[in-house]
Amino acid sequence: MKILDTIDEMRYLTVENAPRYRQIMRIFYKAYEKMDYQLGVGDIDDRLRREGDFSGYTVEMVKQDLGQLVGWGSLTAIQDTKRVYTIEDYQHKQFRYSMTEFAVAIERLTLTLDNLSIESGALSPGLFIHIHDALGRWKDMERAPLGEVNDWWRNLQNDFKRLNQSYQDYLREFYSDQSGKLLQSVDFLKHKDLFISYLRDFVKGIQTYSGRIRLVLSAIPEPRELALISRIIESELAIPQPAALTANREEMVENNVKGQWESLKRWFVPDAQGVSESVRVVDITNEIIYQIIKNAELLLQLQDWGMSRKTEYRRYMELFKEAEDMAEAHKLAAHLFGIQHIGHYQANGPRETENVNSGVFDEAPMVYRVTPGTRHYHERVDKTGFNDRETERKLAQIRYLNQINSERLMMERYVKQGRLDVGAIDEVVPAGFRRILLGWIARASGTASKSGRTEYGQNYLLERKAGDCVLRCEDGDLRMPAYVLVFTA
């Protein structure tokens, strides 16, 4: 298979019957983990009925789905000759099925995706210790057996992959929308110290061990580094692989090992700009710690401000309540709030007195509705419920069906021996009848064969007779060409 070709083995994840195919493949994978590599049609049918609602799923459908999965390359079919007792059994080809390597890898991926929302990243400084200790043994690998070299290299890469994946998953959660809302909530104040301590321990681990790892990697001479890489490549090639995977294997293994070694070096050793990935991670983590502290300070300020202003306003209301008269209330307001910025509003409304010396507090209050002066202002519409019109819809549906039925009966009444002669209609017909009749004529006139099909599934041919005719309708008479509709089926 070419690298950019379509992966047929993954089609069962996206086709129309994907839930059925995925259930079958999950059964195979569970059996595969228990080292039960081959299953028959009966085994699949029994397990399907135990694990879900497959009451209408027949054995023939199971066979068809298994055959389709074999066609996609997800399963391999092996004929079971041990259970053949008759020629009929042999002709029916009793097969047993097993998963292909591609299918096993795909099912592992789907399980990982299913658990992705449950699993979360973590920051473990211990991984730096493992990587540092492993790199400290690089000299021993020059003379160690190939098996030991391969174990050392794979353990080193596993720790490095875990480090990359863990810190990326954990730090990515801080940049999600949900985490952003959590950091701005008051409930986060209870846990901020725990987060800060956790992140600082991780930063401390990076700063402590990344420098040591950088010194180890930088101290390896280039000739010995190339010899070590060659030793690793040799250990990888020493592992037997199936014949199908041996094409260009040496080149693929060499490129893979060199790429992994370069990634490891870039993580700890500065590049041409003098920055390594470990330094970038420290900067990102410090920025997150800064944001946590900043958000916590703002939340504390808002919380304290809200509490203090609330207490202050309550005290003001108590003072105004204890005032003996309006004059004392005015003095209290002047003392508490000082000189106010007064806005004068003029309105034409009915007053209780025409006295020009009357003040605001001498007259009853008047209410004026003020709306914004913008062009895009709209009245606020109160949200209300809606009435259940199910009964009305059903009645309208019944009336419509009755009308359609009556029009059909009327049409059938004018059909004589499979022919509807418009000129032979001597009764007054409804407007609905005329509308349907003219629609049929127009439909057939627009075709080269002068034929059409009614709403009731009848085929007809349109014939033109000589002369005109008059169709008498309830809303007037219609003079039209004399047409005949000949129904063929």
Q: Please write the tens of the pLDDT for every residue from 410-440.
A: 888 888 888 888 888 888 888 888 888 898 8
CA dist 96 and 383 (Å) reads 63
**pLDDT level of residue 244 (50, 70, 90 thresholds):** very low
Name residues whose C-beta falls within 8 Å of residue 366's C-beta, 6 or more positions apart in sequence. Answer: 347, 349
Percent of the chain at pLDDT above 90?
A: 1
CATH 1.10.10.10 in the chain: give the residue spans: 8-114
- Centre a 10 Å sphere on the Cβ of residue 127 and count the other Cβ atoms it contains: 21
| Residue 93 φ/ψ region, left for φ over 0, alpha for ψ in the -120 to 50 degree band, beta for the rest | left
Give Cα separations from 371 to 347, 365, 375, 380 (angstroms): 14, 19, 11, 11
Q: What is the pLDDT of residue 252?
A: 83
Question: In 323-389, which ranges are continuous DSSP H helix?
Answer: 326-337
- Centre a 10 Å sphere on the Cβ of residue 471 and count the other Cβ atoms it contains: 18
Judged against a pLDDT cut of 60, whether residue 117 lies above it is answered with no
**Average pLDDT for the chain:** 78
Average pLDDT over residues 457-480: 89
- Residues paired with 429 in a beta bridge: 473
DSSP 274: S
Q: What is the pLDDT of residue 243?
A: 46
CA dist 213 and 160 (Å) reads 12
| 485: nearest Cα among 428, 430, 414, 433 | 414
Q: What is the pLDDT of residue 427?
A: 86
For 42-79, the three-class secondary structure string (H helix, E strand, C coil) is HHHHHHHHHHCCCCCCCHHHHHHHHHHHHHHCCEEEEE
3-state DSSP assignment of residue 416: strand
CA dist 237 and 259 (Å) reads 16
Task: Give yes or no for a contact between 120 and 169, defined as CB atoms under 8 angstroms apart.
Answer: yes
**pLDDT level of residue 304 (50, 70, 90 thresholds):** low
3-state DSSP assignment of residue 459: strand
Judged against a pLDDT cut of 50, whether residue 454 lies above it is answered with yes
Q: What is the pLDDT of residue 86?
A: 58
Range 370-379, long-range pairs (CB < 8 A, 24+ positions): none
Report residue 276: phi and psi, to 5°: -110, 170
- Does pTM top 0.75 for this prediction? no
Choice between 442 and 377, residue whose per-residue pLDDT is larger? 442
Q: What is the pLDDT of residue 262?
A: 87
Judged against a pLDDT cut of 60, whether residue 348 lies above it is answered with yes
Between CA 46 and CA 52, with CA 51 as vertex, the angle to 5 degrees is: 105
Report residue 176: phi and psi, to 5°: -80, 160
Q: What is the pLDDT of residues 131-144, one digit of tens each?
A: 888 888 888 888 88
Question: In 115-243, which ranges are continuous DSSP H helix?
Answer: 126-135, 146-174, 177-183, 192-218, 222-237
Average pLDDT over residues 41-56: 78
3-state DSSP assignment of residue 484: strand
Q: What is the pLDDT of residue 309?
A: 64
Average pLDDT over residues 177-184: 53
**pLDDT level of residue 303 (50, 70, 90 thresholds):** low
Name residues whose C-beta falls within 8 Å of residue 66's C-beta, 6 or more positions apart in sequence. Answer: 24, 41, 44, 75, 77, 95, 97
Name residues whose C-beta falls within 8 Å of residue 1's C-beta, 6 or more positions apart in sequence. Answer: 7
Q: 8-114 adopts what CATH topology?
A: Arc Repressor Mutant, subunit A (1.10.10)
N-to-C CA span, the chain: 56
Judged against a pLDDT cut of 60, whether residue 338 lies above it is answered with yes
Choice between 246 and 280, residue whose per-residue pLDDT is larger? 280
- Residues paired with 472 in a beta bridge: 477
DSSP 429: B
Q: How is residue 348 written in tokens?
A: 């034409």
Choice between 51 and 72, residue whose per-residue pLDDT is larger? 72
- Residues paired with 351 in a beta bridge: none
CA dist 188 and 171 (Å) reads 17
The H or E element containing residue 313 is: helix 277-322
The owner of tokens 């991984």 is 127
Judged against a pLDDT cut of 80, whether residue 149 lies above it is answered with yes
Q: How is residue 165 written in tokens?
A: 């994946």
Q: What is the pLDDT of residue 118?
A: 44
Judged against a pLDDT cut of 80, whether residue 175 lies above it is answered with no
| 108: nearest Cα among 32, 52, 55, 210 | 32
